[in-house]
A and B are shown apart, each in its own frame.
Chain A
Amino acid sequence: MRSSTRVPLAVAAIAAASMVVACSAASPDTSTSQADDVALRMTIWSANPDHVAVFEKLGATFAEQNPRVKSVKIESFNLAELDTLVTTQISAGDAPDVSWLPVESSAEYIKAGALMDLHDTIEATDGFDMDDFIPSLLERWEVDDAVYGIPFSTGPLIMYYNKDLYKQAGVKDPGQLIAEGNWNWDAFRQTSKELKDSLSIPGYALNDFDFKNWTRLLPYLNAYGASPWSDDATKCTIDSSDAVDALSVLHGMTFDDGSMPVPGQQVDFWGGGVAATSAFLGSAANLGDVSFDWGIAPTPAGPAGNVVATGQASIVAFAAGNHTKEATEFVTFLGSKDAMAEYSGFFPPIRESVLTPEVLTQNSDVLTPEAVIPIIEGVKDNGKVFPVTESNAAVADALNSSLDEFFYQPGVDIEQALASVCKNVGPLLP
């Protein structure tokens, strides 16, 4: 009898103690919008302590400078959950004040009026120097005079290659092709096939692609002057002849040459499983762990030149936030020269004055200023940020799944396949 009461008591005691733990960690209520007591909330998709620290420090500096703002809290989440979190939080009237936002979502959020216009605040800030921003890279966030976000990370897709594997196969590596002025998709396709025949491992793989992420196809598309949709994003153009040419290279390399992995196959460049990969500049951090001799280069050129496909993410202020004025000020602050210099060691910046080899490589153990010079030039001169549409989530979804269904299959007629893709995607464009 006694033992049967002792157990419930123990449980209750533990429960009570746990309640204390739970309550003590609960954050204080921050929804009061008293003019001099604002606590801002910024959401980022990195839990890397260095990244969090940099933004926390900037937040603290801003709170000191701004009489109305008491504090800035940085919260980390996984990028895959972005939509879930934004949706639930805005629905509940509890939106973050400031957030990172990928460029893929820019048009959608801007059209919906979900982002605050930073223009006036920027104008009112002395020494902001808007001209320092590389204009071609700001396009996605500007509508006429309005500025809806400050790009904090503008990373090009570049080519990484494994020099040892090329040497082992006796095949010319990208560095050598560049030296002889022959750095284009045809030549690269050839050498990749030679390498695969010689070593029986893939010659090239798209990093972070997995046949689910169409933006990784942009190096092909850009090189041939193609794009999934027209510039005004109203018409599907992935069935254009340029696109057909561009994507035929990919299809051929995967299903005919066998020099690229097939759907579902996982290969890892960093582990030495494939000779070359295209990935963001930021992935260079992985080079520290590798056990082979590596090189980097811009992605191959094509008939349309060597346009550099560039991903981007910006800092924005949500219109649904509870402290939009202070949020706008904070975002502007984060776009200033000094602030940008602080985090540009981690993320490629958009300010020309900061986009230097030294800054870009200051936190890198592996990249040397010399190595990144061609990359930087490529971005400045030929950088093209990913194309986006207003209903980007739906369009990207349809694009990915119809490519999967019609195009990423062996032995298909490419023109027909891409026409089918357009049939699915076209109706979703405005």
Chain B
Amino acid sequence: MSRSDALRSRTLRRIPMYVLLSVIALLFIGPVLWMVSGSFKSIGEILQYPPKIFPEVIRWENYAQVFSLQPFGRQILNSAVLMVLICSLTLLLAIPAGYALARVRPVGAAIFFLILLSGVFIPPEAVIIPLFRAAADIGWVDTFYPLVIFTSVLSTGPVAMFIMRQAFLTLPAEFEEAATIDGSSRTRTMVQIFLPLVRPSIASAVVFTAWFSWNQFLEPLVYLRSQAMLTVPVALTLFEDPLAGPRWNVQMAATTLSILPVLIVFLLAQKHVVSGLTAGGLKS
């Protein structure tokens, strides 16, 4: 068989797999595609039954309305900035903590672990009132400070710490031995030897943290006031006319636009995860 023949027959054999994957993917992305098609329709068309897949007229003006009704560009930027800030603070808190719990193991590590992890289990609806009150007292209303700090400490930090701890735990001790023999300081050991080894886990932590911060609704709703400071999930609820009801089509257009930044983060992080580190040891 020639090479192209071999390739072709292998691809042909893969067809059932492609079909299976397509069916599964459709289940997930179907609603999203419908939403994208809705972003080009009029409100009446969206709510029509039986549903039409393609709009009669492609209404680009819905997308224009997204920006004329609200400072949406700025709001996407807000969500993105918040995402970067939360990721940064989370990593700054979690990587050292995870490393400490996994490799340095000071006395009482288990207790630290449990306490730090417990933040994740606090229901946000419950604590928003006392936290908001504290934030208001400090004068942090309509700023990003409470969002970044509270989220990183309570919600994303513990998860990232868990991920990092696991990552550091699974590395052999030999590296540490070697480094100590070399005479590096503890900090050098951590930063220059161990850190690069756990890049895929850092990528995982980033993906999770980015997603979490992007999807937050209650906290931005409560802490942020001016339209120019709002984040995307809250802003989406404002595409509503008080008398005529929600502008579904504009909302869908806005949602479609808002997916793009996180998608980019995901694609970038994926490259890190997929490319791996130790050559020959990993599938890609």
Contacts and interface: CB of A to CB of B under 8 A. Distances in A.
B206 to A, nearest CB: 10
A85 interface: yes
B84 A85 contact: no
Interface stretch (A46-54, A64-72, A238-246, A379-387): A46-54
Q: Ordered nearest first, which 7 A-B pairs have the shortest CB separation?
A: A282-B243, A271-B44, A268-B47, A47-B238, A92-B133, A22-B144, A92-B136
A29 interface: yes
Interface in B70-113: 70, 77, 81, 84-85, 87-88, 91
Q: How large is the interface on A (under 10, 10 to 19, 20 to 34, 35 or more residues)?
A: 35 or more
B128 interface: yes
Interface stretch (A74-82, A115-123, A124-132, A174-182): A74-82
A18 B81 contact: yes
A273 B49 contact: yes
Interface string B35-48: 00000001111111
Contact of B133 (A46, A93, A155, A285): A93
Given A11-B88, A92-B129, A273-B48, A81 B225 contact: no
B68 interface: yes
Contacts of A46: 240-242
Nearest to A155: B243
B211 interface: no
B143 A75 contact: no
A85 B84 CA distance: 27
Contacts of A139: none
B116 to A, nearest CB: 22
Interface string A79-110: 11100110111011110000000000000000
Interface residues of B, number: 51
> B interface, by DSSP: helix, strand, loop or mixed?
helix
B237 A26 contact: no
Given A12-B88, A92-B132, A271-B48, A48 B226 contact: no
Contacts of A93: 133, 136-137
B279 interface: no
- Summarize A's interface: helix, strand, loop or mixed: mixed
Interface in B237-251: 237-245
Interface string A1-29: 10010000001101100110111011101
A93 to B, nearest CB: 7
A15 B48 contact: no
Given A25-B229, A290-B44, A49 B68 contact: yes
Given A12-B88, A18-B85, A84 B47 contact: no
Contacts of B243: 153, 155, 280-283, 285, 346-347
Contact of A88 (B129, B195, B237): B129
Given A27-B226, A289-B42, A283 B47 contact: no
A251 to B, nearest CB: 23
Given A4-B195, A290-B44, A285 B242 contact: no
B44 A91 contact: no
Interface in A231-270: 266-268, 270
Nearest to A11: B88
A286 interface: yes
B30 interface: no
Contacts of B48: 268, 271-273
Contacts of A1: 192
